[in-house]
């Protein structure tokens, strides 16, 4: 069995509520996309890069509505979140050619949710051999590209509907 380990995220998860306000609401409310790494804005939900990624291209899809837990989404929100996750995989395929994806919700702090008050789905591209010795031996995660460059590439590659 292969496992995805990200022990460096524990400090973030333990202190995620210490910041000022909701990161998703802040990103949704800004007129510019780059500062909060927003890739695409839909009608009811939007897509942004994770600032604490498991892998290059790790992004999240969140409804605009705060407090929108997985089981609180109305039908239109659920459909748009799903469609944006599908579009996110298409953009990631065209830019990074991943061999697979982890897509999912972390529901509750004990399930790994760093932000529990604003529902969101993770889309994490995966490649064979994408884990290495750096996190294990040095507690360092290597992300080979600046997040702003990744945001730019994915925004340009976003599928047109």
Q: What is the CATH number of domain 9-157?
A: 3.30.428.10
**Which is catalytic among the residues 15, 120, 122, 146?**
120
Active-site residue, 120 included: yes
What is d(CA 15, CA 133) in angstroms, rounded to the nearest whole number? 26
Q: What pTM was computed for the model? A: 0.80
On the 0-12 / 13-18 / 19+ scale of CB atoms within 10 A, 144 is exposed
Structure confidence by residue, pLDDT tens digits, 72-116: 899 999 999 999 999 999 999 999 999 999 999 887 777 776 777
- Over 70: is that where the pLDDT of 159 sits? yes
With CA atoms as reference, report the closest residue to 47 among 29, 63, 34. 63
| Mean pLDDT value of segment 19-38 | 89
The per-residue pLDDT for 12 is 52
Instruction: Quote the radius of gyration of the chain (alpha carbons, Å).
Output: 15
């Amino acid at each position: 069995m292969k496992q995805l380990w990200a022990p460096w995220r524990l400090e973030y998860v333990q202190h995620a509520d210490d910041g000022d306000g909701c990161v998703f609401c802040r990103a949704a409310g800004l007129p510019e996309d780059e500062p909060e790494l927003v890739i695409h804005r839909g009608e009811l939900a939007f897509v942004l890069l994770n600032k604490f990624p498991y892998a290059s291209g790790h992004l999240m899809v969140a409804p605009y509505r705060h407090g929108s837990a997985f089981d609180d989404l109305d039908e239109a929100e659920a459909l748009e979140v799903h469609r944006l996750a599908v579009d996110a995989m298409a953009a990631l395929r065209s830019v990074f050619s991943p061999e697979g994806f982890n897509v999912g919700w972390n529901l509750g702090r004990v399930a790994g949710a760093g932000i529990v008050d604003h529902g969101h789905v993770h889309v994490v591209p995966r490649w064979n051999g994408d884990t290495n010795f750096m996190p294990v031996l040095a507690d360092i995660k290597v992300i080979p590209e600046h997040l702003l460059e990744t945001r730019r590439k994915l925004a340009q590659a976003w599928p047109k509907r």
